[in-house]
Amino acid sequence: MAQNLSTHSGLKKYYHLMRPHTLTASFVPVLLGTAASRIFLTGSEATIKLTVLFAMLLASILIQAATNMFNEYFDYKRGLDDHTSVGIGGAIVRNGMSPKSVYNLAIAFYIIALLLGIYICMMSTWLLIPIGLVCMAVGYLYTGGPYPISWTPFGEIFAGFFMGFVIVMISFYIQTGTISFFPALLSIPVSITIGLINLANNIRDREKDKQSGRKTFAILFGKRISLMVMAILYIFSYVFVIYLALFKSYGSIFWLLILISIPFPIKAVRRFNKNDTPQTMMPAMAATGKTNTIFGLLLALGVYISGVLAGL
C-alpha cells in the first residue's frame, strides 16, 4: 500500500491528521514578515521580539492544522473521503478516529491559538483581535458552512491572501508597531506559492471533486490551463523578487538566494504534465509544497541578512 494510503495508530495518526507537509504555508510567512522587520528597525530598536515571534509561529501553525482537521471532518461528513482518498490525513476513514474527536481537536487548537493571539495583542495592539478572528473564520469556512470556499474557484485566492499577505503583515507589525508597503511587496510571491499549493491539490483531485459538485478553478478550466497558470505564476514570483533585489533601493543581492529553489517548481509542473491520477500526481504535490518552503525560507534568510548588514 502506498505511504499516503497507509493506516497509522498512536501519535502517528495525530501527526498525519495535521497534514504536516502543508504546515510550511503557515510558518514561512511569519518568518518572512519578521525578517522584513529587521530591515525596517534600526539602531537600538533592531532586535527581534523572540517571544512574540514564537507565539505567532505557534498560533499560525495551530490555525493551519485546525483548518486541515476541519477539512478532514467536513469532507467526511459530505461523503467525499473514503479509505482510498489520497492527500488526506486519513484519521477518520483509515485510522479509526471518530468525526467528533477530529472536530473537537480542531476547536481545541483554535482555542489555544486564540490564547496566543491575546498574548500577541498584549504585546502589540488589540486591533489584531478582529483580524485574527476573521482568519480563523476563513479557516473554518474553507470547508465548513453551507457554501465552503474550497468548492469555489476562489480557494487559491483566499489561501494566498490570508495565509500569505495577512500573516506577513501581522508578523511585521507585531515587531515594528507600524505597517509598510515594503512587507506587502515581499508577501506577493509567497502568497502566490501558497495559493499554488491549493491549485496543485485541486488539479490532483479535480475528477473526484467534479463528481461532488465542486466548481474549483481546476475543474472549470481544466488541467492544461491550470498548469499554464501555475507555470506563469511561478515565473512571475521569481522575476518579481529579482526585480526588487536588483532595481529597488531597499533590495539586496542576498534576495537572489531564492534561485536555489528553481528546480522545485520545474519538477512540480513537469510531474503534473507527466501524470494524471491522484496517486501518481502526489510527487508533483510534494514539489509544490517544497517550492513554497524552500523559496520562502531562502527569501526570508536573504531579507534578514540584508537587514543585519544594513544595520552595521
* Cα 303 from Cα 29, distance rounded (Å): 12
234 and 269 Cβ atoms separated by less than 8 Å: yes
Q: Could you count the other beta carbons within 10 Å of the beta carbon of residue 61?
A: 20
* Cα 205 from Cα 294, distance rounded (Å): 25
Q: Write b or e for each residue in 153-191: b if 16 or more Cβ atoms lie within 10 A of its Cβ, otherwise e.
A: eebbebbbbbbbbbbbbbbbbbbbeeebebbebbbbbbb
Q: What are phi and psi of 208, to 5 degrees?
A: -70, -40
Is residue 190 helix, strand or coil?
Answer: helix
Residues 6+ apart with CB under 8 A from 144: 70, 74
Give helix 282-310 / helix 181-204 axis angle, nearest 10°: 170
Tens of pLDDT, residue by residue, the chain (312 residues): 344 555 655 677 777 777 887 788 889 999 999 999 988 876 555 688 999 999 999 999 999 999 988 988 888 888 776 655 666 566 777 777 888 998 999 999 999 999 999 999 999 999 999 999 999 999 999 989 889 999 999 999 999 999 999 999 999 999 999 999 999 999 999 999 999 999 999 999 898 888 888 999 999 999 999 999 999 999 999 999 999 999 998 899 999 999 999 999 999 999 999 998 988 999 999 999 999 999 999 999 999 999 888 766
Rounded to two decimals, what is the model's pTM? Answer: 0.92
Residues 6+ apart with CB under 8 A from 123: 49, 51, 52, 174
222-262: pLDDT as tens digits = 999 999 999 999 999 999 999 999 999 889 999 999 999 99
Sign of CA dihedral 173, 178, 184, 186: negative
pLDDT score for 134: 95
Can you say how many angstroms the Cα of residue 130 is from the centroid of all Cα atoms in its chain?
21
Nearest to 86 by CA among 210, 243, 205, 227: 205
211-225: pLDDT as tens digits = 888 999 999 999 999
Q: Give residue limits of the domains in the chain.
A: 14-310
211 and 253 Cβ atoms separated by less than 8 Å: no
